[in-house]
Structure 1
């Protein structure tokens, strides 16, 4: 039976695409919504129809309750699936839909209100026997009140915003002197991100593991759980890699934590799919503490789908339509192991700065079912399987307006070792050129000995970061890029991988007898000079090497360097300056190497001289586009080296820009200003002498 005939998906990106696939499989018409920034997005293309809801700013589009309610009404949608993020846990949104006679595919308003407030939720479930972490969770407390009560909690402690999620505003405080400034920063972030600056304090659990339990409940009083997910691999409280089941829990603890999750859900009359999150100490795995309940589908829901064979989106739809659950607790069986990695548009080697750009070449791994059905347990006999939930398209522009997550790569194996190997192999096959991603970083994490052994906690990534070694381009990459860049930009090479081949059938040839100098920009801001001759290259005064370059299928080349072969995915991007950037990728790693003109080359040479001489740059530039959310100093103030000046938010993340030297500051922006990448936001005038 089809629960609805038409459903609007009030979200964007990969989760909107994933919901639309299940709607298509069930024979339900789908309605997408989009902002001006998403007019060409994948979810818009995949839906049966699409409705524009406003400009790029989320507050005027995806967060606009009147706009989405009107889109649902105008399209004739009977129900709205909120995905996650945006309005998915907004009680006012659920009420507005109910007032309009439209079904909200989620829990009731009361459950949203209780569980959407961490303070209220913690106090509420404690009354139903669910274990909670010691702390201060009272509404209406000022910073001074929290400081006064912190001593009773003890240090170290954790500051958490009462509203929202995703780790935003969560701050670890090791000692009392740090608390006042940390509270002020956390309250500012919470107010900006969630419209609610209420904070709570919790005792920090050492060696913590983040384990969550998936629950399902219907309107007929049935509540079940579908096992747990291990979500301990996090950076700044943002999950990176998740898996099911947890390698920490034994069968008895799994049963106890599942029962506690069901109790938490029943305490608010929960209906639909939800997740109850617990903190478990690695040192005492039989103890767990309630953290919060997410009253929506989770980003990491595919790992549960792969080990249970249950389509959670389908269950949400059927429950919302009033159907009883067709699954009893005794029917739930965890088969094998599944692991998910989140692919972000970011640059891990540069402090995880958000990345923007245009997808010039895309190759995604896996055997995703185009009809959207999760891979079910009975189909796993052949071994590991891979699924990709993605928002990516070749030619898609990735901006800074929204969250930087692009896709999720999920692998199933008959055991954890097989799942880990399958996920690593899938990431090695994942190619995105034109936008920097974290794929190389994900593979480094999967190779970590503690990760392979299942010895996880929420601080592991932070401890490992400074020891991670990211790949830098070497002679093969510079040689391949120079050979590509040496082609006439107006010729077939400029057409990119989809155009005619820039190589003769028997390999690379240059007609001119004299060598040609190609200057490439390096990732660290320097330059690499390559002399390209007839079937030879010479890098930065090094020895001359025999080199040929030939096509290796669409969007791929093979470089023979002194007879040794190197294979790369490749594409080209055109810069606003008219220069060309060669994009290369291999085994999940990618690099952008711009072919520099004279002006760009001289600018890099000048900057390199300054670095060599130890001269700090007086201009403070934002490395990414975004919005100025705060200015920490006054115009003309005296500042010290390393002092925070301006905070810029991009892709829902806040970045502090600091002074590179001591002096007097001249500010060029104010709070609320929109800034472009590399824009000067402040200038430091050094003190005399």
Structure 2
């Protein structure tokens, strides 16, 4: 047995906060680590001690094995919990911890290494009788071998990096003509994300469902599974919604897939909490194929905790200390249903581009069965240096229907002011008939996205914003002893004679309206509409507004040159319109390509002065672990303004194209 009194959490954000809270409940001291970007983060303040690792780039902070171990030695931490991401599945880090005499709260380096290489993982589990997807998987496959072997695997084919996970570098190829470009992109993305560009092929299972099984094993030979999670709702191979148990599996299949997951863990002598992921054809739910094993805690572990009543972080700590599991397979009971959504800093209507920025205000939901895993707080700066996930909202109930209702209500109650998020997208997705019926597959989001009814900003929203602006307190007195006082000091257009309305020229990202507000009696009119009786009361960040006899209460926050408010559909920024002058009259002759997000230029596809046609790739920009290719909008001659490795701001110019007919 090993006594653990202090644990260093080698991670950040919501998972660091979640781990620290369990440590605190067990009376174990916690050590946080942070980069310069996270110096004021919640996990830093919540921990008993905190150590700076280095600058914001992960390679110089959270991914530096030497700096993390130095922090552990400096603080006397006996153990390190890696969370998920960063060094969580790094066999070299697990080995370095062992060499330093520090307990790594996770499996052995050997298990991480075998399962971290998808090719060796497939061979290992196949030897134990676990079914795998047909494909072409061996080390050192060249581009030519991959292209030549694709026909034998069968189209559509899935190109996958052997290292890493999270969907990065994965490409579905429908026909042979697309192969060469897809293989090149997959190589580049795999090398950038994992430092290893080894690729292999699998047959792409049409209408696949992504089912994963939570396993947990101790050092005494006990291995159990804690049921499965349905993770089929994905975009770009990244999970969006997870639930437990899966609405697809029956009891017999659940037992079989659970046994296969346990056998997978045994094949590498696994110790700790891990997840075995399977692909299940939607039209043949009794079949399943091993996909990979994640040798760490998963983002979606809360849904398993809610239906089993177990704290998986606590179990990890006890196993790491040498304790035996206090239960066996027959003791595991699955109670009720839990659903989780991942809240991202991204704009779904702009192709899910990462956003980020300053959090003006955050409002978290509450209520029966609601759990929020988050590190968000007012004033937090959300950096594009890291993954765009902000929080997880989880709902539990005795049945799936009630869990879904609770979660939809929780999303509607949540407000994040400061930048675009995917909250509205999540709510619309959960309200789709396919999700309600449990008819899911990994391609569902791509098929239904354009049919999701994103609402446009209504006239009422503009009226509410104007009333909130009108009601916000202002300093109406002079600060100097000789300055004007009373009505002469007002800055709101007060004048002698008949009352005149205050005019607000407001805009959102997609609409502009002029709103008039009369003070006495309070009335409001949008555009050329007739004035309507209104009421407004502000109380600690919440507004209660009535217009024409219809009222509602909602959170709001001032910032970004206007007012953020929570509508029935979304968090919306309504700001005062600012006219712009001097429009670029040469735009037709020399179109500019600007980056839609802040990030790093990871590829320049053309040379300076090259001729390009419409749609040709010019540069690729990476941010928040996602790569975005910017393409020519007109044909002509390229004039580059960036090079590979350059940092670009959102809206920054990366190239101009001189049209040949200009």
TM-score for the superposition, normalised by structure 2: 0.93
Query: Pairwise mapping of residues 491-640 of structure 1 onto structure 2 (< 5 A)?
Result: 491=475, 511-512=494-495, 513-524=499-510, 527-534=512-519, 535-540=522-527, 542-574=528-560, 580-587=561-568, 589-599=570-580, 602=581, 618-640=591-613
Per-residue deviation, 1:294: 0.2
Report the RMSD for the aligned CA atoms in angstroms: 2.1
* Alignment partners' CA distance in 2, 1:617 and 1:32: 50
Residues 643-662 of structure 1 aligned to structure 2 (within 5 Å): 643-662=616-635
Q: Distance in 2 between matches of 1:662 and 1:487?
A: 52
Aligned mates of 2:574, 2:400 — CA distance in 1 = 38
Of the three residues 441, 445, 451, the one matched with 1:461 is 445
Distance 1:518 1:678 in 2: 27
Q: Which residue of 2 aligns with 1:95?
A: 95
Residue 461 (structure 2) pairs with residue 477 (structure 1): yes
2:91–2:113: 8 Å Cα contact kept in structure 1? yes
Question: What are structure 2's unaligned runs of at least 5 residues?
Answer: 477-491
- Write the distance in 2 (CA, Å) between the matches of 1:101 and 1:212: 33
Q: Which runs of 5+ in 1 are unaligned?
A: 368-383, 493-508, 575-579
TM norm structure 1: 0.90
**Conserved? CA contact 1:360–1:572, under 8 Å:** yes
Alignment pair present for 1:238 and 2:238: yes
Query: Aligned pair count?
Result: 642
Q: Map 1:86-485 to 2 at 5 A.
A: 86-366=86-366, 385-485=369-469
Q: Secondary structure at the match of 1:166?
A: coil
Equivalents in 1 of 2:458, 2:586: separation in Å?
Answer: 24
Contact 2:360 2:558 in 1 (8 A): yes
8 Å Cα contact 1:668/1:680 also seen in 2: yes
SS in 2 for 1:287: coil
- How far apart, CA to CA, are the structure 2 residues paired with 1:530 and 1:685? 42
- Measured in 1, the distance between the counterparts of 2:642 and 2:550 equals 52
Q: How far off is 1:490 after superposition?
A: 5.9
Evaluate the alpha carbon distance shift between residue 687 and residue 120 of structure 1 in structure 2; reply closer, same or farther with a 3 A threshold.
Answer: same
TM-aligned CA deviation for residue 413 of structure 1 = 0.8
Residues in 2 aligned to 1:518 and 1:192: alpha-carbon distance in whole angstroms: 48
Residue pair 1:159, 1:172 contacting (<8 A) in 2 also: yes
Residue aligning to 1:70: 70
Distance in 2 of aligned mates of 1:567 and 1:335? 36
**CA distance in structure 2 between the aligned counterparts of 1:597 and 1:229, rounded to whole angstroms:** 49
**Change in 2 beyond 3 A, CA 1:588/1:515:** closer
Offset at residue 547 of structure 1 (A): 4.9
In the alignment, structure 1 residue 683 sits paired with structure 2 residue 656: yes
Change (3 A) 1:46 1:547: farther
Q: Deviations along 1:51-98, whole A, 9 cap, x unmatched?
A: 000100000000000000100110100000000000000000001111
Q: Tell me the SS of whatever aligns to 1:232.
A: strand
When residues 488 and 565 of structure 1 are mapped into structure 2, their CA distance, relative to the original with a 3 A threshold, is closer
The CA distance in 2 between the partners of 1:191 and 1:407, in whole Å, is 28
CA distance in 2 between partners of 1:628 and 1:139 (Å): 29
Question: Are the equivalent residues in 2 in contact too, given 1:211–1:278 (CA < 8 A)?
Answer: yes
Q: 1:109 to 1:588 in 2, by over 3 A?
A: farther
**How far apart are 1:422 and its partner, in Å?**
0.9
What SS does structure 1 have at the residue aligned with 2:451? coil
Q: Could you say if the C-alpha distance between residues 487 and 335 of structure 1 is closer, same or farther in structure 2, counting changes exceeding 3 Å?
A: closer
Q: Following TM superposition, by how much is the alpha carbon of 1:366 offset from its aligned partner in structure 2, in angstroms? A: 2.6
Deviation at 1:654, TM superposition (A): 1.1
- In structure 1, C-alpha distance between the alignment counterparts of 2:384 and 2:193, rounded to whole Å: 16
Separation in structure 2 between the aligned mates of residue 334 and residue 516 of structure 1, nearest angstrom: 59
Q: Secondary structure at the match of 1:286?
A: coil
1:629 Cα deviation after fit: 1.0
Question: How far did residue 491 of structure 1 move?
Answer: 3.7
Do the aligned partners of 1:445 and 1:451 also contact (CA within 8 Å) in 2? yes
Q: Distance in 2 between matches of 1:357 and 1:550?
A: 29
| Residue aligning to 2:27 | 27
> Is the CA contact (8 Å cut-off) linking 1:476 and 1:566 kept in structure 2?
no
Deviation for aligned residue 1:211: 0.2
Distance 2:414 2:2 in 1: 36
Distance 1:270 1:669 in 2: 47
Instruction: Check the 8 A contact 1:118/1:163 in 2, yes or no.
Output: yes
Give, in whole Å, the separation in 1 of the partners of 2:236 and 2:389.
15
Q: Tell me the CA shift for residue 667 of structure 1.
A: 1.1
More deviation, 386-395/631-640: 631-640
